[in-house]
Structure 1
């Protein structure tokens, strides 16, 4: 495991953060960021969303460290500083959604190798929520799970959904799989979208922080997804919907102003998750870990309480 760059000057994370390169079982180089390695209460494996990268969660790592937890954040294959599979680095692409599970396995081994404090917990946002749910179904060894706006479905209108399925099904046969989804841009969302019309956060300061990160380090950014990515994401959501919920205590946060993932799919899943709980944040948008302080504190306080309570229940 080799040292990797960590852009600490824009991350805003706790002192002493470090980054490492990992090599997955299928030969892909990914990156992790680690903060708070001496934390007393355990380690949070933070599975970020599409387009995201370790530095984006420096503030989250600080919030978790203040509550006693270390944080490990992953740059998934195809984004951040991890290997990109296409020559055009701006394209959000993965050959198969199941390939992300190789990244999960590498991360779990790295947590052990680095001696990060136990127990391990998962905090998964958006696309990371889809990856994380499959990982739990396949036996990921964590004590508890927290989800933030998990991508258990993508918000697509009923009128457009059949067209999306048809287009993504045809694309590989026509050699169009690596083509960007029509209507998505070639510039990453936060640089292309004014704060006033964004669907991510109502906190201008956090939004400006994201813009500064990607302006200073454009190598972190990706833009619109490919048709292959979209087809794989739709298929993954359909597969997940057919699976029973795993026997892992789960808390899920959903914003009342969610416009990116399918809120109905989240509600259905949590209604059938034994011992699971759905926490609705009426004013929350998609990025609740980037929302104004009242929402951020509510999420991190409840997540930390969930982590601790479940561990106490299991040990008792």
Structure 2
């Protein structure tokens, strides 16, 4: 297997950008509410397709390294920016506000993308790969829609969240009340437009190279920037979290948990794994939230686990 490295990341940027420009096929998918930006690439000797459901703040532009790496390992790759972020449509006048009307809107988009784009270009084995909020979207999608995925790989899935010192029952009450009172499009308390934290203060990754590349990408393409969340997004997310105990997925699941995660609550990962016989959970020591953008010593074992999982569910 080929593994991209931090050491060679800068020197490989020209090659990665050429892949993005010349190999990835990029287009927009029409949905009832707006256009979703998506991309895909099919290597000549592709054996499996990986469909990516990215996290909040994220999109195709941030995943260039991973897509290039997967492609070089003969995986067909498909990715769509979620509504409200990346290059997809945003509902509110302030494009920095992270917002969704109801959480199932995300999974409905994923279903549309899978049917109209993925299945139109690929008829072989497929694995759904997700990160953070994208993991919540993926899980809800798998629980509610008919699909033909062989397995699902979750990186630090957002099955529950930290509320930064505010008791969760109070945070839920405030989000629900604010939404009911007509403030669903208003930033939740403490949320602001996009800001780029210094590396030393970031809670996402311990890889300086990957973090700086992420921030550079968003600095050079301001339309990718996304700020904090609205009360509407928070209320929709809490509603999804409350539904977790009623959702079941029958295909094989792999949950990668980041030991030092400060974004999502890892207890929910163990809870899910304990009630699904088809789920495997692995905790990555020393890892922050963004496992796909971590240091090589964390990221390489994660990707090795992904490749092994793909092989096991598609053999």
Q: TM-score, normalising length from structure 1? A: 0.90
Q: For 1:121 and 1:265, how far apart are their aligned partners in 2?
A: 22
Secondary structure at the aligned position of 1:280 is classed as strand
Query: CA–CA distance in 1 between the matches of 2:246 and 2:43?
Result: 37
Name the SS for the 2:300 alignment partner. Answer: helix
Task: State whether structure 2 residue 239 is matched by structure 1 residue 239.
Answer: no
Distance 1:156 1:20, change over 3 A: same
Counterpart among 129, 149, 167 of residue 135 in structure 2: 129
In 2, Cα distance between the equivalents of 1:205 and 1:184?
27
Greater shift in the superposed pair: 223-232 or 31-40: 31-40
In 1, the alpha carbon distance for the partners of 2:206 and 2:18 equals: 21
Distance (whole Å) between structure 2 residues aligned to residue 68 and residue 227 of structure 1 = 42
Alignment coverage as a number of residue pairs? 299
Does the CA-based 8 Å contact 2:108-2:141 persist in structure 1?
no
Question: Where in structure 1 are there 5+ consecutive unaligned residues?
Answer: 1-7
- Pairing 1:293–2:300 present: no
The whole-number CA distance in structure 2 between the counterparts of 1:39 and 1:251 is: 25
> Within 5 Å, which residues of 2 pair with 1:124-163?
124-138=130-144, 139-156=146-163, 160-163=167-170
Alignment of 1:69 with 2:75, yes or no, is yes
Report which stretch shifted further, 249-258 or 38-47.
38-47
Question: Aligned Cα RMSD in Å?
Answer: 1.9
Q: Where do 1:171-190 residues align within 5 Å? A: 171-188=178-195
Q: Distance in 2 between matches of 1:204 and 1:252?
A: 25
Give the equivalent residue in structure 2 for 1:281: 284
SS at match of 2:180: coil
Answer yes or no: is the 8 Å Cα contact 2:194–2:227 preserved in 1.
yes
Any idea what the Cα deviations from partners look like across 1:21-44, whole Å, max 9, x if unmatched? 0012x2421011223443422110
Deviation digits for residues 109-168 of structure 1 (CA, Å, limit 9, x no counterpart): 20122x236211100100011110011112332111100000011113685212211111
Unaligned runs of 5+ in 2: 1-12
Summarize the Cα distance change of 1:187–1:250 in structure 2 as closer, same or farther, 3 Å threshold: same
